[in-house]
Structure formats: structure tokens, C-alpha cells
Amino acid sequence: MVKLRLKRMGTTKRPYYRIVAADSRDRRDGAFIELIGTYSPLENSKIDVNEEVALKWLNNGAMPTDTVKNLLSKAGIMKKFHDSKKNK
């Protein structure tokens, strides 16, 4: 099963995360299938997401973790995903 989740980067006490599509059985910071975006909690919660790639994975059945779902909601992607499902 593919999950959309955070991969921790950065140094000690300076976290920086990548939002990735990864196999649910892989380690948190292990291999991933595709990079979707980034999240920097120290820079005013800066979120950069490639909208097309995120919607592609959501439409293909990838399950976001709770944190990633909240981040995608802040970026407005979850609303577009739900609207596209409604129109089908």
C-alpha cells in the first residue's frame, strides 16, 4: 500500500520534512517512490506542494497520514480532491 507521509531531513533541532509517496512497509526515512513537496515548520510552517503530483497519488488510492492530510488541507489540495470525486 502506498502512503503519503513525511520524511524527516535537516539536522538536530532544525527539522525539515519532505512529503513523499512511499510504500507503507518502508522505514520513515527510507526509500520513497516520488517526492510530492516540502514542509518547513521553522519557517512559519512553509508548505510547498506539487499539486498535480499530489492529486495523481490521491486519485490512485494513496492514503495520506493524518499530518500530511492536515498539510494538504492547508494547501487547498484536499478540497480539490474531494470536489473532483464529487463531480465523477
13-72 pLDDT per residue, tens: 999 999 999 999 999 888 999 999 999 999 888 999 999 999 999 999 999 999 999 999
CATH topology (fold) of 2-87: S16 Ribosomal Protein; Chain: A; (3.30.1320)
In this predicted structure, what is the pLDDT of residue 86?
85
DSSP E strands: which ranges in 24-82?
Answer: 34-40, 46-49, 63-64
DSSP E strands: which ranges in 1-88?
Answer: 2-11, 14-23, 34-40, 46-49, 63-64
Q: Whole-angstrom Cα distance, residue 53 to residue 70?
A: 17
State the residue for C-alpha cell 499539486: 51
CA dist 57 to 15, 20, 71, 72, Å? 25, 10, 15, 12
For the entire predicted model, the pTM comes to: 0.89
